[in-house]
């Protein structure tokens, strides 16, 4: 099977599973955004997904994202999401390159993004990354600190607080991740009640290849999926 056929099959399967998971909890598939994580594939492979209708792409490194954006500049409807850890000294590049940043995990970074977004006269949608599991290897603020960081984002005129993001632990059984996703949803609800942050603060970015269906069942509005889309292809195609 050639690469395009393989990707079409993978893409259709992921979309179908997302639809089923959304329906199980009484939502429509349009309510859940697929962020196609292209960090392990070439720009040409990302373009195949675009040709199949995918519009939102996730990258975890500024430099790699810049290369892909340049190579794919003609894909006018594509939007690019930063999902990886961001160094403060890359804030300028990040604001130039990305449409949404999922990984704000400290006040310093928020300040740097605010400054750069102000210079470009744009508003930058951002999510706060939360370390729900408490694993030392994970980035993100502790759940108890999320409210404070969201509160500071709400005071930054060029940042738009969209919600919360998390990465669940690597687990052989996706059901084991359910409590972490439920916890992030409860945290979002509690912050909404306490801060009245406005309509745009409603997103839960959670779920990857191993656990995106469970994440959707627990209220994800964005899932970040890479591996499942690129199974069986030659990654250098």
Q: How far is the CB of 19 from ligand PLP (least distance, A)?
A: 18
Binders of ligand PLP among residues 59 to 88 (CB under 6 A) are: 60, 83-84
According to the binding rule CB under 6 A, does residue 163 interact with ligand PLP? no
DSSP structural state of residue 175:
G
Structure tokens at 99: 């449409």
Phi, psi of 100 (to 5 degrees): -145, 140
Cα angle 137, 163, 49 (rounded to 5 degrees) comes to: 80
Kindly tell me which of 39 and 183 has the beta carbon lying closer to ligand PLP: 39
According to the binding rule CB under 6 A, does residue 93 interact with ligand PLP? no
Which residues, 6 or more positions from 66, have their beta carbon under 8 angstroms from its beta carbon? 93, 97
CB atoms within 10 A of CB 108: 10
According to the binding rule CB under 6 A, does residue 167 interact with ligand PLP? yes
x/- string (CB under 6 A) for ligand PLP, residues 45-64? ---------------x----
According to the binding rule CB under 6 A, does residue 37 interact with ligand PLP? yes
DSSP structural state of residue 99:
S
Inter-residue contact 228 to 16 (CB < 8 Å): no
Q: How far is the CB of 169 from ligand PLP (least distance, A)?
A: 13
Q: How far is the CB of 24 from ligand PLP (least distance, A)?
A: 20
Burial of 111 from C-beta contacts in 10 A (0-12 / 13-18 / 19+): middle
Kindly tell me which of 197 and 218 has the beta carbon lying closer to ligand PLP: 218
Kindly tell me which of 10 and 116 has the beta carbon lying closer to ligand PLP: 10
Binders of ligand PLP among residues 198 to 227 (CB under 6 A) are: 208-210, 224-227
- Nearest CA-CA partner of 210 in 169, 180, 181: 169
Kindly tell me which of 49 and 228 has the beta carbon lying closer to ligand PLP: 228
DSSP structural state of residue 88:
G
Binders of ligand PLP among residues 112 to 131 (CB under 6 A) are: none
Kindly tell me which of 143 and 207 has the beta carbon lying closer to ligand PLP: 207
- Nearest CA-CA partner of 33 in 97, 102, 94: 102
According to the binding rule CB under 6 A, does residue 32 interact with ligand PLP? no
Query: Cα(31)–Cα(22) distance, rounded to whole angstroms?
Result: 8
Q: How far is the CB of 227 from ligand PLP (least distance, A)?
A: 3
Burial of 212 from C-beta contacts in 10 A (0-12 / 13-18 / 19+): buried
Q: How far is the CB of 105 from ligand PLP (least distance, A)?
A: 12
Structure tokens at 92: 């300028």
Under the rule (CB under 6 A), what is the footprint of ligand PLP?
Answer: 37, 39, 60, 83-84, 167, 208-210, 224-228
């Amino acid at each position: 099977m050639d690469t395009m056929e393989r990707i079409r099959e993978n893409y259709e399967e992921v979309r179908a599973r997302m639809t089923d998971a959304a329906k199980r909890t009484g939502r429509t598939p349009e309510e859940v955004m697929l962020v196609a994580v292209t960090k392990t594939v070439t720009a040409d492979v990302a373009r195949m997904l675009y040709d199949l209708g995918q519009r939102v792409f996730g990258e975890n490194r500024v430099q790699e994202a810049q290369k892909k954006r340049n190579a794919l500049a003609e894909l006018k409807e594509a939007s690019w999401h930063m999902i990886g850890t961001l160094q403060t000294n890359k804030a300028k590049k990040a604001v130039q390159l990305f449409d949404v940043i999922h990984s704000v995990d400290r006040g310093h970074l928020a300040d740097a993004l605010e400054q750069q977004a102000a210079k470009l006269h744009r508003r930058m949608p951002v999510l706060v990354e939360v370390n729900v599991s408490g694993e030392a290897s994970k980035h993100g603020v502790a759940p108890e600190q999320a409210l404070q960081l969201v509160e500071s984002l709400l005071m930054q005129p060029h940042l738009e607080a969209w919600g919360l993001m998390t990465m669940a632990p690597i687990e052989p059984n996706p059901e084991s991740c359910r409590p972490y996703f439920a916890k992030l949803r409860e945290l979002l609800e509690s912050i909404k009640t306490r801060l009245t942050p406005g309509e745009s603060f409603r997103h839960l970015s959670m779920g990857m290849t191993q656990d995106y269906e469970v994440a959707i069942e627990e209220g994800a509005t964005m899932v970040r999926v890479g591996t499942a889309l690129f199974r069986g292809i030659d990654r250098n195609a």
